[in-house]
Every structure is written in structure tokens, then in C-alpha cells.
Amino acid sequence: MATKTSTSLETMVAYQIVPGLTEPQRKVLPIPTPGPDEVLVKVLASGVCHSDVHLLEWSDGRPFSPFTHTLGHECAGTIVRLGSNVASNRTLSTSLAVGTYVAVLGTNACEKPDCDRCTRGLANVCFALPLYGLGGDGSWTQYMVARACTVVPVPGNNPKSARLSPAIVAAATDAVLTPWHALKRTAGVQPGQTVLIFGCGGLGMNAIQIAKNVLGAGVVIAVDVREESLSIVRKLGADYAVRPDGVKTLLEEKGLKVDVALDLVGKQSTLDGAVDAVRTGGTVVLIGLHGDALSVTPLAMTTKQLKFLGSFGGDYQDLEESLRAIEEGKVTPGVEERPMDQCREVLKDLAAGRIRTRVALIPN
């Protein structure tokens, strides 16, 4: 990655993680200059995720970078400057022209021809380069640099679009992208299947819509401990919305067989619930990062012959498809906006469970 240096005296405000400190630190930094294969993006909105909470709880930076860097891995913005190689490439300079409205793919895969992960369709888990906001400088700032291969033009190129506003596009880069990859690419959900989703926060609400409206799931069951969240997902298309202790009764009374169980929480209780609920030969997909360590009973895994899969983020294709689905009205992310200088308060609200959808930070 090119060194981020400024060629002007202009500065910007950024909110950074500093090892040993558990709150974002406000810094005034030079506006960066893009390297040859990068673009400079003016940030219009940047999402807040439970991963940001966890990263600050892991004050030593584990499992990502232990170094000081700008937070934010969900970015929507407009391109304001092209790196020299991008500017000289006719194809890139057309699709990523100055002024283009874009989403930034936070997973930042290396895309090298000899990469064992990128060449096997696993670019979403290529960590050869730092992830934006999770080791590398991200988007909790006014300007960020991004490699051209991680920048996806937004359909319609209109930041004022109601369906594709900057707040919604920022959320799409993780809160839609992650369940999209998990359900479509990892689990391979098929039309008519029954899908069970543990966790009805920002990702879960989108997962329900993806399963139902995009992949054609026959039945979608949403599970959460918060009655307010259950009320919201019923309106989003969940066929059933219950608390964890109501899952077994629901399945028995309705005669349902769960084909795919998606754990968006990552606690021992939710994983156990997914393993218990899924049918013999079914699939359990783990996304949530709440627990440090989880265990699975070998007897349950073997006698039910389950497929147990992990899923992380998504790739360029997933983000393109996610944005198109939003443009078509198949997925409508729930997002609220707050000023970026309130990022500390937002993190506290998120950690305390006071946020039901997604929050996008708007640079001051």
C-alpha cells in the first residue's frame, strides 16, 4: 500500500483507535494523497458496527492491527482525486472518474495472481493487506484513500437517491454485504428452504429481506431476545419472529424443518440454539463475533451430520449485487444518521443494546 502523505496544508478530522485506549481519539491529520493505484474519497457517510465495539474492547488491537489507525470499515462517498495509474488507465478513469458516487469494500483483498485465497474465490478473507478501519486507515474521517479495486460505483450515481443515500450505501458495505455473502455464497440458500436467523439487529434485519426477497426462502424465522426488534422484523417479511425459548415450540407446532440456521450473534447460547434447531443434514453458518471461544458437541454434529460453516464479509461481486438489490427495492436497510463527532456515544449505545438498526456517521 502506498504511503499516505499530503501534498497540501489542508487537514481533516479523524477518529482513531489508539492501542491501550478504549474510546476513539479525535485527531487532526493531513488530507492524504492517493498512491498510484488508489483514489481519494470524500466521505459522505460511514457506518458503525459491533466489530468497532469489539476492536476497542480488544485494546491491544487483537485480532487485527495493534497500531494506531482511523476507524470505519463502511464507507460511502465521492471520488475527488485519482492516483496516477488510475488516471492513466482509460477504463478505470472512466468508471472511477472524479465526482463518481461510490461504496468502498472494506475487506481490501490483495487480488494478486498467486494469492491462495483470492484465486480460490476467497477474496473476502484475504488479509494480506490491512482491512480499512480494522488495521488500516478507514472512513471515520472526512477523506480516505482506497485502492481502486475496492471501490464500487453506486448504481445511478446519485447521493440524493432515497434508496441509495450515503447512509444506506455505507450500511450496505457490511450490514447488507455480510449476510448476503453468508446466505447466498456460503450457505447457498435455495428457493423454498426454511431459514432461521439468530440476531435481529442491523445485519439480521437485512438477512431476513435477502433470504425472503432475493433468494426465495419459503419460510424465514427470526429470533431475538428484544421484543422491539421482533416487532420490526415482522414488518420486514419474517414469517415468524420469536424469542429463543420459543423456537422449539414453534417448529413443533408448525411442523417446520430448518435447512439453514444463521448465527449473527456468536454466543454459546445462540450457537447451541442453531445446532438444536437445524434439521439433520442441515447447515449452520456462524457470523457473529460476540464470544471469544465457542464449543460444539461432537455427538450433535455427527449424529445430525451437520455442515458447520463460517462466513466473513464479502467480495466485490457481493457488494455490486447488494447495491443492485437495494436499488430494486428488494432490500431496504434500516439506518439512522448521527454526526461523526458523536461516534463515542454511538459506540456506547451499540454496546448497551440501545440501537435497533444501523447508525451511519456523517462527517461534520
pLDDT of residue 87: 96
From the list 326, 320, 321, 314, the residue with the least C-alpha distance to 165 is 326
- Cα 313 from chain centroid? 6
Position 9 pLDDT exceeds 80: no
Q: For residue 202, which amino acid is it? A: G
Q: Grid coordinates standing for 360?
A: 451511519
Instruction: Annotate the chain with three-state secondary structure.
Output: CCCCECCCCCEEEEEEECCCCCCCEEEEEECCECCCCEEEEEEEEEEECHHHHHHHHCCCCCCCCCCCEECCCCEEEEEEEECHHHHHCHHHHHHCCCCCEEEECCCCCCCCCCCCCHHHCCHHHCCCCCEECEEECCCCECEEEEEHHHEEECCCCCCCCCCCCHHHHHHHHHHHHHHHHHHHHHCCCCCCCEEEEECCCHHHHHHHHHHHHHCCCCEEEEECCCHHHHHHHHHCCCCEEECHHHHHHHHHHHCCCEEEEEECCCCHHHHHHHHHHEEEEEEEEECCCCCCCCCCCHHHHHHCCCEEEECCCCCHHHHHHHHHHHHCCCCCCCEEEEEHHHHHHHHHHHHCCCCCCEEEEECC
pLDDT of residue 292: 72
pLDDT of residue 60: 52
CB 154 within 8 A of CB 169: yes
Position 14 pLDDT exceeds 80: yes
pLDDT of residue 65: 57
Give tens-digit pLDDT for 178-193: 999 999 999 999 999 9
Residues whose CB falls within 8 Å of the CB of residue 140, separated by 6 or more in sequence, listed in order: 14, 15, 16, 24, 46, 70, 71, 72, 133, 340, 343, 361
Q: Tell me how far apart the alpha carbons of residues 338 and 36 are, in angstroms, rounded to a whole number.
A: 33
CB atoms within 10 A of CB 5: 9
Give tens-digit pLDDT for 199-212: 998 899 999 999 99
Give tens-digit pLDDT for 299-332: 989 999 999 999 999 999 999 999 999 999 999 9
The percentage of the chain sitting over the pLDDT mark of 70, rounded to a whole number, equals: 95
From the list 179, 280, 162, 273, the residue with the least C-alpha distance to 233 is 179
Cite the residue boundaries of each domain of the chain with CATH code 3.40.50.720: 188-310
Q: Grid coordinates standing for 362?
A: 456523517
pLDDT of residue 199: 95
Mean pLDDT over residues 70-93, rounded? 96
Mean pLDDT over residues 271-276, rounded? 96
Position 58 pLDDT exceeds 80: no
State the average pLDDT for the chain: 93
**Domain 11-174+314-362 classified CATH 3.90.180.10?**
yes
Give tens-digit pLDDT for 345-358: 999 999 888 888 89
Cite the residue boundaries of each domain of the chain with CATH code 3.90.180.10: 11-174+314-362
For residue 1, name the pLDDT band (cuts at 50, 70, 90). Answer: very low
* Cell 432515497 sits on residue: 162
For residue 66, name the pLDDT band (cuts at 50, 70, 90). Answer: low
Give the CATH fold of the 188-310 domain: Rossmann fold (3.40.50)
pLDDT of residue 59: 55
pLDDT of residue 364: 87
Give tens-digit pLDDT for 204-260: 999 999 999 999 999 999 999 999 999 999 999 999 999 999 999 999 999 999 999
Residues whose CB falls within 8 Å of the CB of residue 25, separated by 6 or more in sequence, listed in order: 15, 16, 17, 18
Q: Tell me how far apart the alpha carbons of residues 269 and 274 are, in angstroms, rounded to a whole number.
A: 9
Beta partners for residue 11, in sequence order: 30
pLDDT of residue 213: 97
Give tens-digit pLDDT for 130-177: 999 998 999 999 999 999 999 999 999 999 999 999 999 999 999 999
